[in-house]
Structures are given as structure tokens and as C-alpha cells.
């Protein structure tokens, strides 16, 4: 208020500079409070030592906290502790991006149609580990079908039409299912990212139709993966092309 009225400019330069530094510090640490309409549902704390006062305030008010815990921090003070180097910008950025994405993805629907006891549903193929596991199962089924049909003679296809192509033929058998897994993972992840962005911009107008369309495209992606996997396994039984 004093700054808006120009009274700070009437003070001596030394006093004005001191008040401006104090004002800047208060705005840095407390400026965001004026945008809050209530007590936050959860608080993320990056530096436990630097934000110890805020952490104690959250404990007093009963606000859940997520804290990046370095070796010099107390993990018992936070509800959820994430072991991390709180001095490394890259690790902080990675963890915060994951947390922001999870928080934005949580309230996609403005109401709960079905109350789930253990959290919200999410696409399992949104995790690269799931799609890679599916690719490995497809590879196992591929080799099992080929060995069952042709026996040890199945491996003769790797030196056809010439033994020079042996490394390429081996690499081809492993890259096909992996390409399927990355395709499925990328499409599902892109769909959820689009929904998260639309929810942050227009919560109801566009997000729900896009989510319904996402269910349709997810079914199409599952059908494509199953069809290509079946064709890939059938190829091992018929011959190498």
C-alpha cells in the first residue's frame, strides 16, 4: 500500500531500499496466499530446511505434505517422503512434473460416478513397463509357436537367404514387439496429456467428450496391438518373410 501511494520514494534511499527488500521477500514467500480461497488439500515442499516453518504450519493445521527428502532431512515430518537431492534442479524438475501431472490427472471428472476404495482408475498402458511386458509376452509366444511348429529347424530362418543377414534377422525379431509396445504407450500417453491440458483450460466443455473419444481410441489401440501380435506370432509358424 505504501509503495502504491509512492510514500517509499519519499524516504531516504537507504530506508527505501531496506523496505523494498523486505517487501520483495514477503511477496516471494507469502504473495501466493492472496490467490488461495481455502486451505490447500496438500502441500509439496522441496527444501525441508528452507521451508521448515511452512512444514510445521502444515503439521499444525493437519494438511498432508509431500516432501523431497535429502540426506540431511527428517522423513518422519512429512506424510509422503520422496528421497531426492533437493539441490539438483534436474531431479526437482522431474519430480515436480510427475506430481503436477498426477494432480492434474486426478480430478478429470467433476464428479465421482463410482467411488473407488483405492484411488482412481488410470490406463495401465500409460506405463511403459506395462507395454514392454506385453511385448515380452508376445516375443515368448512368438518363439514358442515357432519351436512347437518346426522344432530346432525354426532357427534356420535366421541364415536365410544368406548367413550375412543373421544379425539383422535376430534384431528384427526383437524390434517388432518393442515397436508395438512404444506405439501403444505413446498413443495412450498422448491421449491422457491432451485430456489434462483441456481440463486445465475448459474443465467441462471439451474434456468429457475428449475422454469418451479416448475410450474409443483406447479400444482401437488394443485391437491393433492384438491383431499385429497375432500376425507376428502366425508369421513364426508359416515362415520368415
Q: How many domains does the chain have?
A: 3
Residue 56 lies inside a defined structural domain of this protein: yes
Residue 173 lies inside a defined structural domain of this protein: yes
pLDDT in tens, 122-178: 667 777 788 888 888 888 888 888 888 878 777 777 777 777 877 887 787 778 777
Residue 117 lies inside a defined structural domain of this protein: no
Q: Tell me the pLDDT of the chain averaged across its residues.
A: 76
Residue 35 lies inside a defined structural domain of this protein: no
Q: Are residues 137 and 189 in the same domain?
A: yes
| pLDDT band, very low/low/confident/very high, at 115 (cuts 50, 70, 90) | very low
Residue 158 lies inside a defined structural domain of this protein: yes
Segment 68-94 shows an average pLDDT of: 85
Mapping DSSP onto H, E and C, the string for the chain reads: CCCCCCHHHHCCHHHHHHHHHHHHHHHHHHHHHHHCCCCCCCEEECCCCCCHHHHHHHHHHCCCEEEEECCCCCHHHCCEEEECCCCCHHHHHHHHHHHHHHHHHCCCCCCCCCCCCCCCCCCHHHCHHHHHHHHHHHHHHHHHHHHHHHHHHHHHHHHCCCHHHHHHHHHHHHHHHHHHHHHHHHHHHHHHHHHHHHHHHCCCCCHHHHHHHHHHHHHHHHHHHHHHHHHHHHHHHHCCC
Residue 130 lies inside a defined structural domain of this protein: yes
pLDDT in tens, 17-70: 787 888 888 887 777 777 777 888 888 888 888 888 888 888 898 889 999 888
CATH code, domain with 79: 3.40.50.10490
Q: Are residues 99 and 165 in the same domain?
A: no
pLDDT value for 53: 85
The boundaries of the domain holding residue 17 are 1-26
Q: Are residues 232 and 128 in the same domain?
A: yes
Amino acid at each position: 500500500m505504501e509503495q502504491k501511494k509512492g510514500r517509499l520514494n519519499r524516504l531516504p534511499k537507504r530506508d527505501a531500499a531496506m523496505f523494498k527488500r523486505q517487501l520483495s521477500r514477503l511477496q516471494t514467500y507469502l504473495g501466493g496466499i492472496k490467490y488461495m480461497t481455502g486451505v490447500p488439500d496438500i502441500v509439496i515442499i522441496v527444501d525441508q530446511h528452507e521451508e521448515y516453518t511452512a512444514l510445521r504450519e502444515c503439521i499444525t493445521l493437519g494438511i498432508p505434505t509431500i516432501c523431497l527428502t535429502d540426506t540431511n532431512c527428517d522423513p518422519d515430518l512429512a506424510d509422503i517422503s520422496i528421497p531426492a537431492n533437493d539441490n539438483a534442479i534436474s531431479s526437482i524438475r522431474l519430480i515436480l512434473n510427475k506430481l503436477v501431472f498426477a494432480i492434474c490427472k486426478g480430478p478429470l471428472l467433476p464428479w465421482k460416478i463410482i467411488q473407488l476404495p483405492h484411488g482412481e482408475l488410470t490406463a495401465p498402458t500409460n506405463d511403459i513397463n506395462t507395454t514392454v511386458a506385453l511385448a515380452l509376452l508376445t516375443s515368448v509366444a512368438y518363439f514358442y509357436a515357432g519351436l512347437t511348429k518346426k522344432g530346432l529347424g525354426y532357427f534356420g530362418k535366421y541364415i536365410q537367404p544368406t548367413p550375412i543377414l543373421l544379425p539383422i534377422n535376430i534384431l528384427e525379431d526383437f524390434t517388432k514387439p518393442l515397436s508395438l509396445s512404444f506405439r501403444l504407450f505413446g498413443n495412450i500417453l498422448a491421449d491422457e496429456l491432451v485430456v489434462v491440458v483441456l481440463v486445465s483450460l475448459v474443465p467441462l466443455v471439451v474434456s468429457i467428450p475428449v475422454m469418451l473419444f479416448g475410450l474409443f481410441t483406447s479400444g482401437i489401440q488394443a485391437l491393433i496391438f492384438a491383431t499385429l501380435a497375432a500376425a507376428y506370432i502366425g508369421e513364426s509358424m508359416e515362415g520368415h518373410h
